[in-house]
Amino acid sequence: MDYQVTVIQEMVRNKSQLIERLKEQIGRVVVGQKELVDRLLVGLLANGHILLEGVPGLAKSLSVETLARCINAKYQRIQFTPDLLPADLIGTLVYNPQRGEFITKKGPIFANIVLADEINRAPAKVQSALLEAMQEKQVTIGEETFKLPRPFLVLATQNPLEQQGTYPLPEAQLDRFMLKVKITYPKKSEEKEILNRMAYTKRDLTVEPVISPEEIMDLRSIVDQIYLDEKIKDYILDLVFASREPGEYGLKNLENLIECGASPRATISLCLAAKAYAFIQGRGYVIPHDVKTIGMDVLRHRIAITYEAEAEELTPEDIIQTIFDEIPVP
């Protein structure tokens, strides 16, 4: 086993330069926001979609666009609006009178990186059009099914403040996002750097593509091999099961606060995200700190709280933090 970890560690060390080059290019445009950048890279390496939530002006869309420009792949931004239709997203069949037949016109979702900007501005029927694409990596138009390009990543943004004219994401949609990242304001020193860099009518926001889709797929194959000890697997299972059956783990105070716990997809996502985070940290093995660091982003949108919890002004983050504090760390 030690030999296996040593081999994986060497592979991670050899490939870590690609991640450093990506970070360097993103840093030319995005100031600070280290946690955001790390989560974007986790999603890229773990093949997981990401939901970014934050007030306007925190560089959510800019970060996604910059990441896409650093990759030599197809990028598509889709502005979600109340009048958007599923066909505007995935495509439709168009009748060709000259040939007397219907031809398929593919939608903007056929890209490697898709920015679903203000995703909660579109109604449920449009959001549901993403379900097949996000899970099966394919789209059905008419009677024909088309595979999406690889890699395929949906990076969505939403504003937590303005709720007028928005449509809450259904649970099935939320569960398909590996991470939900809440973005906060930058530090004062970082905002001064933003001021020095951005306060011009003509800005230099050029970056260079430093990684190809083939290299991303290669990195993902290494992430799959990162060593995950049985004790870490059991720790991940304890965290997820504690959200479903808190009383079984000595958390009786949470029994009346959780309406619905995390799904098996959360278990898989937490495992993959922890591996990807370990890779970014330059390790060929996962430690409990990786799970705890990335765990909040994996679980916060997968736990539904009761009215009693809301009455006590508790949030899903409060519940998850209690679980992390009480479950023994291996």
Domain boundaries, the chain: 33-189, 226-326
pLDDT for position 1: 55
Name the CATH topology of 226-326. Helicase, Ruva Protein; domain 3 (1.10.8)
How do the pLDDT tens digits run along the chain, 330 residues long?
Answer: 566 778 888 788 888 888 888 888 888 888 778 888 889 999 999 999 999 988 887 778 888 888 888 888 889 999 988 888 888 888 888 888 887 788 888 889 999 999 999 888 888 888 888 888 888 899 988 888 889 998 999 999 888 766 666 777 878 888 889 999 998 888 888 888 888 877 776 776 778 888 888 889 999 999 999 989 899 999 999 999 999 988 888 888 888 888 888 999 999 999 999 999 999 998 888 999 999 999 999 999 998 888 988 888 888 999 999 999 999 988
- Output the pLDDT for position 163: 62
C-alpha torsion angle, residues 97, 98, 100, 102 (rounded to 10): -70
pLDDT at 279: 92
Residue 228's SS3 state is coil
| CATH superfamily, region 33-189 | P-loop containing nucleotide triphosphate hydrolases (3.40.50.300)
Q: What is the pLDDT of residue 169?
A: 82
How many angstroms separate the CA atoms of 122 and 80, rounded?
5
> Can you tell me the distance from the alpha carbon of 82 to that of 229, in angstroms, rounded to the nearest whole number?
47
Instruction: Give me 142's structure tokens.
Output: 């008419």
Quote the pLDDT of residue 3.
60
Residue 255, CA atoms < 13 Å, CB-side half-sphere? 8
How high is the pLDDT of residue 273? 95
pTM: 0.89
Q: Residue 318 and residue 303: Cα distance in Å, rounded?
A: 11
Instruction: Please tell me the distance from the alpha carbon of residue 29 to that of residue 69, in angstroms, as a whole number.
Output: 11
Q: Do 32 and 190 meet the contact criterion of CB atoms below 8 Å apart?
A: yes
Contact predicate 212/44, CB 8 Å: no
